[in-house]
Structure 1
Amino acid sequence: MDEDRNIAIARKGRHIALVIAGTAVAWLVLSIFVGPALGLPGRYALLFDFIALAGFVYAGINTYQLWRMRQDSQR
């Protein structure tokens, strides 16, 4: 039982890391390279920012859930 919980915690931690890294890379690529290369207006840059913000909020919520999982496993 304890081993399953440790595996779930590790899996969730990897998932959070991939979400944060993927969101940051996608945001940089879209904002710096793709948007200007296609000549997109500034409102699309704001759209990319909001999408990135949503990804980071999602990662923050999952980080809180991971913290709670770790707290429960230490009892």
Structure 2
Amino acid sequence: MATAEASRSDEKVQGVGTSTTYYQLEEVVTQNSLKELWLVIHGRLYNVTLFIEEHPGREDVLLQQAVADASESF
């Protein structure tokens, strides 16, 4: 999950054994290359690196969306 207000931390959900990592949007937008591409859509973080070749708009469209919150485009 990525929000401008969130801070990076790891939390264990009681009884579930999973962890949640929070990133600041400033951290997420640095992952905007063909080697590592992350998108924030409606407050959730997606690693779309493996999807680059499958996307109909190819890398140009995804790279443009990776520099900010991409929610409006979706």
If the length of structure 1 is used for normalisation, what is the TM-score?
Answer: 0.31
The structure with more radius of gyration: 1
Q: Normalized per residue, which structure has more helix?
A: 1
If the length of structure 2 is used for normalisation, what is the TM-score?
Answer: 0.31
Higher relative contact order (CA 8 A, sep 6+): 1
Q: Normalized per residue, which structure has more strand?
A: 2
